[in-house]
Structures are given as C-alpha cells and as structure tokens.
Homo-oligomer: A and B are copies of this chain.
Amino acid sequence: MRYSQLLIPTLREDPAEAEVVSHRLMLRAGMIRKLAAGIYSTLPLGERVIQKTRKIIQEEMNRAGAQELTLPFVQPAELWKESGRWDVYGKELLRFIDRGNREFCLGPTHEEVITDLVKGVVTSYRQLPLILYQIHIKFRDEVRPRFGIMRAREFLMKDAYSFDADEKAAAQSYQKMHDAYSRIFTRLGLTFRAVEADTGPIGGSFSHEFMVLADTGEDLIVNCNVCGYAANTEKAAIRTPEIVPQDGKSWKEIQRVATPGMRTVEEVTGYLQVSPRDLIKTLIFTGSDGPFAALVRGDHEINEIKLRNALGCDHIELADEPVIEEQTRAPRGFAGPIGLSIPVIADFGLAGGSNFVTGGNEKDVHLLKVNPERDFKITRYADIRSAAQGDPCPRCDGSLSISRGIEVGHIFKLGTKYSTAMAATYLDQQGREQYLVMGCYGIGVGRTVAAAIEQSHDKDGIIFHPAIAPFAAVVAPVNVKDRQQMEAAEAIYAGLMQKGIDVLLDDRDERPGIKFKDADLIGIPLRITVGAKAAREGTVDIKSRKTGEVQLVNISDAVHTVEETLNKIG
C-alpha cells in the first residue's frame, strides 16, 4: 500500500495520557485513539496488527479442532441468575434494562451463554468432545481502566470453551488448548511462559496463565531454571523445608526494647540495626473460624491466597483495630506471637531460625532474641508467603528466580461448575444423563499486541515481529521527485507484492528523516532505502529495525534479500 493513501496519524510528542510504553507507542504510531475511559478506537494501522494476530489465533484454534462461532455481546440477566453469578460478579458486570424493562448485561465473559447454547444443541456423547471459540469484544466496567488497550473496558478477546464427557477427556481438551496457545504465542514471535495460576473468580479447579515476559509487566512470575517449573507468585509453591526441633544451644535471652512509634519492618529494623530476615511479622487475621495470627519473616510478603488455601477457608481478612487490640492488648504495629491465645500459622521461611525480633504486644515495645519453640507455640507451619528471588523450587533442588510478565492468555479447567448450575447434560453410551465437563480458554487479543510492544521496543519506537507487523517491509525513496529513485522504488515495491510480502511504499513528499522516524516508530521490520546510490551505483540499503544492521544490495537483488531476511527473522 501507499503511505500517502493511508491514515497513519503519527505523533512526534509523547501523549500525556500514556502511562506505559505500549500505550504511548500505540498512540504515537497512530494505531489507537481513546474515545472514553478504557474505550478505544483501533485505527487502520492498529487494525492490521490486530487482524494478523487474530488470524494466527484462528488458524491454531482451527488446527486444534476448535470451531468458531459468535455469541451475543448483550446477554439476558436470567442466565447469570441461573449460574449464580448475577449477585456475585460485582460492578465490573455492566447491567442495564432494555426498552421492555428486561434486565441485561454486557458480556464480560461467556460461560453462561455458551453453556446455555450447548445445553440446547448437544444431547449425546457422540457429539463430544467439542471445543467452540469466538473472537469478539467483551466489556468489563473496570474501576480504573488504564494502560491503553492493556486494561481497557471494551476489549477484543478470543474465548474458547470445551465440553467433554468426563474429567479424562476434559484433561485432553485442556492439553490441546495448552499446546495451541504455545503454538500461537510462538508464531506471534513472543517470549512467554505458561505458568500455573490461581483460578480466581471464574472458578474451576486448575489453570495456567500465559505470560509474555517484559520488564514493564504488572505480574510477577517465578521460574525454576533447573526443572522449568513456572507459576505466578500468587500461586507459586515453595519447597517444604524439613522442620526439626532445635537443640537450643544458640538461643539467647529475651530482651525488651523501647521502639517508640516504630511500627513497620523498615522502621523497626532500621532503628534496631538488624536485618529484616531476623524479624517476625505478626499479622492478625479474622477467618470463618475466628481470629488467628500469621507469621512471616520481615523480608517476606504474606500471600493471602495461599493463607486462605492453607486454612481451607473461603474468606479471610486482616483484622481491624479492635480485634488486634483485643488479641494483642496493644495498638496495631506492635503485635507479637508471645502470649497469644489464638492459632498461630507460621510461614516455612521461619523454620530453623532463632533469636528473632518480634512485636512486644505492648505499645512502643519490641522484643529481641525471641525463639519459637521456647517462647511461644506455632500451631503449624505452612507455605503462606509469596515466592521471592532465590526461594527453593517446590519440584526440584533448584531455586526460583522472579521475572515480570504480562498475562495474555489464561486456560481453566472448569469441571462441572456451570453445567451443574445450568443443568447442561448429555446422555452417555449407556443412556444415562451426565453433566458436561467444561474448560475455558481466553486470549486478550489487543492485550497480546500491547504485550508484544512492551517486550520489543526501543527509544525510537516499536520493533514488531514480521508475523504481526502492520507491514513486513517499507520501501522508502529518499526523494520522490527523483525519477530514477521512484522507478527503482516502484519496481522493488511491485516485486515484493508479487512475492506476497505485505509492503508499504512511503511515497510521501517528505524529508528522509521523517520517513525513517515514522518507519522506526511504527516498527516495520525491514526498511529498503532507495537513495542517490540507486541511480549512481544501482544499489539500495536494507536495514533491520531490530538489529540496526544494514545490507547494501543491488536493486535487482533487493526483493530476494528482503524475502530471505524476513524468512530468517520469522
């Protein structure tokens, strides 16, 4: 296509609204524009990238035997009441009434709709297994939409749902989708990890998140370099230590010290000149069985999901001031484990340690040289902290390292949660009615594009992989008024098109500096510069956006070299 005929409204300046790299670059590259908070238009250049991403997703879903359909975006409340989610989904579910006063919502996800549909059309085991998917918009009324299309309210998603006869078959469908996702993100040119994850509000029994690695990612993931174990930090297990009684030889005598106004780990350890590793944080929680204390090392972070799972509780929350004072007889910030009459759950990280600093259960007082076995009783040890750099891998002898990622896909085993609630059954070979066993599988399409940009960019702009670049190559004549340059440029342009390469001809009457800057900004993998040398020596430059490498080639070899270089990158 010709640049002069395309709407590519690039911006020279960084837009004030952009908080992250991908948002800034997508605005600057003229790929998106904001309409309202969390609601974006995708401009032609962005549309090209989205469509290429979409096509790869489609091809791999089809290859995995999934069938494409389209489900309604506007959904009746009845279905959500049937599944039980109408009352629990919260404000992200945008609800309204139609002109006939019936309740509806905008689909934030489609478990209800697909379960209802399948219930109506699947009757026999002979119709299973079944994987259905769509690529369609969703709406989640986020309280704080941000980062452009990374966390938008209206967004494009690929969502798939599997229906199987039993758990074993469902596990096969899950694996098929896991494999398809791996192929998709590989073809999209992304560095990613499939990590074990918590199932969150969608529910279900097991899940993996697909994370694109990027320093700017919001999510923390752990990874074992020895065995390949990967999980998000919410879920990541830590190897269970051997917990052996201590001989007490190293235990020193308790000391009571005044710590006026010192409440946080930083304040206390700074004031006492000790390492955070030597401090026990004591947190008072209330759970369904009453209050309890949770202990973690000063350099660790409590993980409420793990804590909840360890206790087998549906719900826990940090205790409020009156409960803390009742249990510790001290204001918040001075809680310690000694003398508590409630259960005490200690994190594995405390096992084997001695002579800790703890709160004194008294205003402005901390205690030194506290030893668990001697001074207080630990009800049980458990894995209740978020994994940190260097933590022991739960699967092998290796240790975990932390990296940042952006969640672009999420696959879940749902089991029979929805089929039971909505009575979606089939008849098995013996003619018995059975609940369908389900799975669900999502990819944020726009978010994947944003993540690709977060992972691959530099100060000049986006560095797209050829698989999703809006154009694989750009032919840039330095001077469009120079007949020889334009002839050479047109010939290369035509040659590339003939090879089926998606090429842009920058036919604008602009200075070369502007053309180069725009090509870099919008991230086109290869730039063929047709300048004075074209006429003088019959050569052109082919520059790689990623490496900066320049190849000087004869005009007649340009098409071939571009094709070869793209094949190498792709």
Binding site for B on A (CB under 8 A): 5-7, 9, 30, 33, 35-37, 39-44, 46-47, 50-51, 65, 67-76, 91, 94-100, 102, 104, 106, 113, 116-117, 120-122, 127, 130, 132, 137, 139, 141, 143, 153-154, 156
CB-CB nearest 7 A-B residue pairs: A96-B96, A9-B121, A44-B67, A42-B70, A36-B76, A91-B99, A39-B72
Q: Would A69 and B96 be within 8 Å (CB), given that A7-B130, A120-B33 are in contact?
A: no
* Cβ 8 A contact of A41, one of B42, B72, B130: B72
CB distance from A88 to the nearest CB of B (A): 16
CB contacts (< 8 Å) of A113 on chain B: these are 35, 41
The A interface, classified by DSSP as helix, strand, loop or mixed, is mixed
CB contacts (< 8 Å) of A120 on chain B: these are 33
Q: Is the CB of B98 within 8 A of A69?
A: no
CB contacts (< 8 Å) of A95 on chain B: these are 96
Copies in the assembly, this chain = 2
* Cβ 8 A contact of A6, one of B67, B76, B117: B67
CB distance from A219 to the nearest CB of B (A): 24
With A and B bound together, what is the CA distance between A42 and B117 in angstroms?
10
CB distance from A241 to the nearest CB of B (A): 45
With A and B bound together, what is the CA distance between A7 and B163 in angstroms?
12
With A and B bound together, what is the CA distance between A39 and B102 in angstroms?
13
Q: Is the CB of B127 within 8 A of A35?
A: no
Q: Is the CB of B67 within 8 A of A127?
A: no
Having A7-B127, A33-B121, one finds 18 other A-B pairs with CB under 8 Å, namely A7-B121, A30-B121, A35-B76, A35-B113, A36-B104, A39-B72, A40-B72, A41-B117, A43-B69, A44-B69, A70-B156, A73-B139, A74-B106, A74-B153, A94-B96, A96-B97, A98-B141, A137-B137
Q: Is the CB of B141 within 8 A of A99?
A: yes
Q: Is the CB of A73 within 8 A of B154?
A: yes
CB distance from A367 to the nearest CB of B (A): 47
With A and B bound together, what is the CA distance between A142 and B9 in angstroms?
37
With A and B bound together, what is the CA distance between A67 and B7 in angstroms?
8
With A and B bound together, what is the CA distance between A461 and B45 in angstroms?
42
Name the residue on B nearest A35 (C-beta). B72
Q: Is the CB of B94 within 8 A of A69?
A: no
Q: Is the CB of A143 within 8 A of B99?
A: yes
Q: Would A74 and B43 be within 8 Å (CB), given that A99-B94, A121-B7 are in contact?
A: no
With A and B bound together, what is the CA distance between A132 and B94 in angstroms?
29
CB distance from A394 to the nearest CB of B (A): 39
With A and B bound together, what is the CA distance between A35 and B76 in angstroms?
8
User: Which of A33, A74, A113, A137 is packed against the most chain B CB atoms within 10 Å?
Assistant: A74
CB contacts (< 8 Å) of A75 on chain B: these are 35-36, 39
With A and B bound together, what is the CA distance between A120 and B120 in angstroms?
47
Q: Would A70 and B94 be within 8 Å (CB), given that A35-B75, A76-B35, A117-B41 are in contact?
A: no
With A and B bound together, what is the CA distance between A117 and B67 in angstroms?
35
With A and B bound together, what is the CA distance between A40 and B36 in angstroms?
28
Instruction: Pull 10 A–B residue pairs with CB atoms less than 8 Å apart, ordered by A.
Output: A7-B122, A7-B132, A36-B74, A40-B72, A42-B69, A44-B68, A47-B67, A47-B68, A70-B156, A96-B96
User: Which of A36, A37, A73, A76 is packed against the most chain B CB atoms within 10 Å?
Assistant: A36
With A and B bound together, what is the CA distance between A99 and B91 in angstroms?
7
Q: Is the CB of B50 within 8 A of A70?
A: yes
With A and B bound together, what is the CA distance between A98 and B91 in angstroms?
9
Q: Would A137 and B67 be within 8 Å (CB), given that A43-B121, A121-B33, A132-B7 are in contact?
A: no
User: Which of A43, A94, A98, A102 is packed against the most chain B CB atoms within 10 Å?
Assistant: A98
CB contacts (< 8 Å) of A51 on chain B: these are 68
CB contacts (< 8 Å) of A44 on chain B: these are 67-69, 132
With A and B bound together, what is the CA distance between A10 and B127 in angstroms?
13
CB distance from A119 to the nearest CB of B (A): 11
Q: Is the CB of A39 within 8 A of B127?
A: no
Q: Is the CB of A117 within 8 A of B72?
A: no
CB distance from A135 to the nearest CB of B (A): 11
CB contacts (< 8 Å) of A5 on chain B: these are 65
With A and B bound together, what is the CA distance between A95 and B98 in angstroms?
8
CB contacts (< 8 Å) of A40 on chain B: these are 72
Q: Is the CB of B73 within 8 A of A73?
A: yes
Name the residue on B nearest A43 (C-beta). B69
CB contacts (< 8 Å) of A132 on chain B: these are 7, 44
CB distance from A7 to the nearest CB of B (A): 6
With A and B bound together, what is the CA distance between A75 and B50 in angstroms?
21
Q: Would A139 and B69 be within 8 Å (CB), given that A30-B121, A94-B99 are in contact?
A: no
With A and B bound together, what is the CA distance between A69 and B121 in angstroms?
35
CB contacts (< 8 Å) of A98 on chain B: these are 94, 141, 153
* Cβ 8 A contact of A69, one of B41, B99, B141: B41
CB distance from A132 to the nearest CB of B (A): 7
CB distance from A156 to the nearest CB of B (A): 8
CB contacts (< 8 Å) of A67 on chain B: these are 6-7, 44, 47
Q: Is the CB of B137 within 8 A of A73?
A: yes
CB distance from A169 to the nearest CB of B (A): 14
User: Which of A33, A70, A113 is packed against the most chain B CB atoms within 10 Å?
Assistant: A70
CB distance from A24 to the nearest CB of B (A): 17
With A and B bound together, what is the CA distance between A159 and B127 in angstroms?
37
With A and B bound together, what is the CA distance between A309 and B100 in angstroms?
34
